[in-house]
Amino acid sequence: MLVEELDFDLPPELIAQRPVLPRDACRLMHLTRDGGLRHLHFRDLPNLLRPGDLLVLNDSRVLPARVNVRKSTGGRVELLFLRQLPGELPEVTNCSESEQKGRQGERWETLAHPSSRLRPGLELFLPGGEPLRLVERQGQGRWIVEAPPGGDVVNLLETYGLMPLPPYIKTYPEDPTVYQTVYAAQPGSAAAPTAGLHFTAELLERLKEVGVRIVCVTLHVGLDTFLPIREKRVEDHRIHSENYSVSKEALSTIKDARSQGARIVAVGTTVVRVLETVARAGHLADSAPISDLRGSADLYITPGYHFTAVDMMLTNLHLPRSTVLALTMAFAGVERLREAYAEAVRERYRFFSFGDAMLIEKLDEPRTKEARDADS
């Protein structure tokens, strides 16, 4: 697929600058399994799902990951904390100051701006004076930074950071929690899993009342949310890995739903990637043991991919030339999604993070010639 095939015409005024309130009052385009299209609202979701369906949420919590730091010379640098890197050593109590100084602190992948004059070993200082050390340049403005031994970066971000809103949102909201799902629990994302922003606590209760099961997995959204596809061929793009986890309780529920023939409804492209990653590793097989799962998801889904773990997907209306648009096209079908996006523009849907939503069902499988002959 050529990257131009991920383009579409979008009037700038359709880029949502603030969420609809209440959250579930946004519009919902329903792409049905028979190829139809319906215009509804997100609060209609309990009427679209059925008892036994399993709704899978991403409970990652967005970190206030955008922080202004300073050099010792007074120069300012903005850091966007993307993800914690593995291998950091836990804090040890009852050790001497010299032993503590010799320990490695937490290391994080960050985006730095401006980054051209930065160099490894340089210290940057948070607003409270806490130092961060630049460890290694990763390219494209990315740096590995190290916190002081024993320092808790999440706590530092909660103290000094701002929500990392996408650049197309021009005004920082009065209430930053609008960029957080109501069920967010596990801190670690550099951007919101935006398909879940439309849920309210009341809507989740209504879904349970009609028999929909709900389970959470975790995928911490990282660098690729900010990077467009720049290669000529979509498949040549390199996707960066993002950390995920699935509890043994969640895995058991997912496997149970599949064994019963229930529909698996993924809330967002992040959940799709987790479920398909777990399925490809064999963890959803009937004979696979049930245990806590942790790993890195670097599965890049483009049109032509065969989905094995997901039956329906809730998602937002995505940016042109983005990996999430490529994934959504793969799930819905290229022409089907193009037609849906054209309809969304005609009907003045709101696009991107604070915009409206889609519920996409897989198309019915084409009937074989043998089945058609049997009917005749």
* pLDDT surpassing 70 at residue 373: no
Joined together, the tokens standing for residue 166 give 């996408």
Q: Which domain holds residue 90?
A: 66-160
- When pLDDT is averaged across residues 86-111 and rounded to a whole number, the result is 60
Q: Are residues 26 and 81 in the same domain?
A: no
Q: How far is residue 330's CA from residue 218's CA, in Å, rounded to a whole number?
A: 22
Alpha carbons 304 and 334: distance in angstroms, whole number: 10
For residue 32, tell me if it sits in a domain: yes
- Confidence grade of residue 130 (pLDDT, cut at 50, 70, 90): very high
Asked whether residue 142 falls in the same domain as residue 255, the answer is no
273: left (phi over 0), alpha (psi -120 to 50) or beta: alpha
What would the mean pLDDT of 143-163 be, rounded to a whole number? 93
pLDDT score, position 240: 81
Mean pLDDT over 231-252 rounds to 93
pTM of the predicted model as reported, rounded to 2 decimal places = 0.88
Report yes or no on 221 lying in a domain: yes
Give 103's pLDDT tier (boundaries 50, 70, 90). low
| Class of residue 90 by CB neighbours under 10 A (exposed 0-12, middle 13-18, buried 19+) | exposed
**What pLDDT is attached to residue 21?**
95
pLDDT at 52: 96
Question: 244 and 99 in one domain?
Answer: no
Residue 222 confidence class, pLDDT cut points 50, 70, 90: confident
Map residue 375 onto helix, strand or coil: helix
* Interval 287-331: pLDDT, tens: 999 999 999 999 999 999 999 999 999 999 999 999 999 999 999
**Mean pLDDT calculated for residue range 114-122:** 93
Range from 100-109, 178-187, 273-282 carrying the lowest mean pLDDT = 100-109
d(CA 164, CA 110): 12
CB 43 within 8 A of CB 26: no
337 and 188, same domain (yes or no)? yes
Closest-CA residue to 5 (of 227, 325, 226): 325
Q: Is residue 255 in some structural domain?
A: yes
190 and 296 in one domain?
A: yes
Residue 89 has a pLDDT of 40
The enclosing domain of 328 has a CATH number of: 3.40.1780.10
Looking at residue 351, its amino acid is F
Tell me: do 310 and 355 sit in the same domain: yes
Residues 297 and 348 in one domain: yes
Domain closes at, from 137, 160, 183? 160
Q: What is the pLDDT of residues 192-219, one digit of tens each?
A: 999 999 999 999 999 999 999 999 999 9
What tens digit of pLDDT does each residue of 248-274 get?
Answer: 999 999 999 999 999 999 999 999 999
Continuous H helices in the chain:
45-48, 97-101, 153-160, 201-209, 248-259, 269-280, 323-332, 334-346, 369-375
Q: How far apart are CA 260 and CA 278, in angstroms?
A: 19
CA gap 222, 308 in Å, rounded: 24
Which CATH number characterizes residue 146's domain? 2.40.10.240
Q: Where are the beta strands (DSSP E) in the chain?
A: 27-31, 37-41, 54-58, 60-62, 66-71, 76-84, 107-113, 123-125, 131-139, 142-146, 186-189, 213-219, 242-246, 264-267, 293-297, 312-316, 357-361
The answer on pLDDT for 95 being more than 60 is: no
| Domain end (from 129, 160, 191) | 160
Q: Is the pLDDT of residue 370 over 80?
A: no
Structurally, the chain folds into a number of domains equal to 2
Q: Are residues 116 and 264 in the same domain?
A: no
- 129, two tokens: 């004076």
In this predicted structure, what is the pLDDT of residue 98? Answer: 42
One domain for residues 127 and 267: no
Average pLDDT, the chain: 91
**pLDDT of 272-296, one tens digit each?**
999 999 999 999 999 999 999 999 9
320 shares a domain with 187: yes
**Which residue among 133, 160, 187 closes a domain?**
160
Residue 370, in any domain of the structure:
no
Model confidence over 39-69: pLDDT tens digits? 999 999 999 999 999 999 999 999 999 999 9
Angle, in degrees to the nearest 10, between helices 269-280 and 323-332: 70
